[in-house]
Structure 1
């Protein structure tokens, strides 16, 4: 597995999503990329510009699972390297560790923004 390689299929899927968004047309959910495959649920057409909706709790759970998987992968690679596995390179371990760290930091920032928004809403006067 080549870490950092970009699959051309994902690039094409992203381009088709961007083109569809520019034309205000709903995208095909089978081409979704970024760890949210199967999360986007099409809704019943309510108007001509009906868009697909994302269930927030499912999207949040999927992103947390993705962060957890990246951290688990980094730990496993680190253990394999420490045990002397010749198939694991130090660069692979470091890249996986940095990816896990960045994804965790992004998750913490999202959590902080959600908590801040919650406090702002709770402090609003009715």
Structure 2
């Protein structure tokens, strides 16, 4: 998951929201073709989910006594999943803040 890329797109969307209404209308058809930010966000959420699931599987394997599962790999996978989840939470918080800023703009 590339958080800096998501944050760059958030900044771009904020700049577009502050632009003239005619320019915002010109950007709207590009958002309807199914690509872009929505796809990026869905992919990032899927990666976080997959990371958490694999960490949970490793934890379960280690707890059941699987000799092929090392404690270091369990701890590393858990830490990675935790960092990804915190990053996704921060992105969500910034998206909510950007949405609130847009909704509070005078028309």
Q: Do the structures match in fold with TM over 0.5?
A: yes
For Structure 1 versus Structure 2, the TM-score category normalised by the shorter chain is: 0.5 to 0.7
Q: Which residue of 1 aligns with 2:69?
A: 88
Q: 1:5-30, CA deviations, whole angstroms, 9 ceiling, x for partnerless residues? A: xxxxxxxxxxxxxxxxxxxxxxxxxx
| Residue aligned with 2:80, SS | helix
The separation in 2 between residues aligned to 1:123 and 1:57, in whole angstroms, is 23
Runs of 4+ in 1 over 3 A off after TM superposition: none
Q: Which residue of 1 aligns with 2:56?
A: 75
Is 1:103 paired with 2:84? yes
Supply the RMSD in Å over aligned alpha carbons. 1.5
Listed as ranges, the gaps of 5+ residues in structure 1 are 1-32, 35-53
Give the helix-richer structure, 1 or 2.
2
Q: Which residue of 1 aligns with 2:104?
A: 123
Q: RCO higher in 1 or 2 (8 Å CA, sep ≥ 6)? A: 2
The separation in 1 between residues aligned to 2:36 and 2:106, in whole angstroms, is 28
The separation in 2 between residues aligned to 1:60 and 1:120, in whole angstroms, is 20
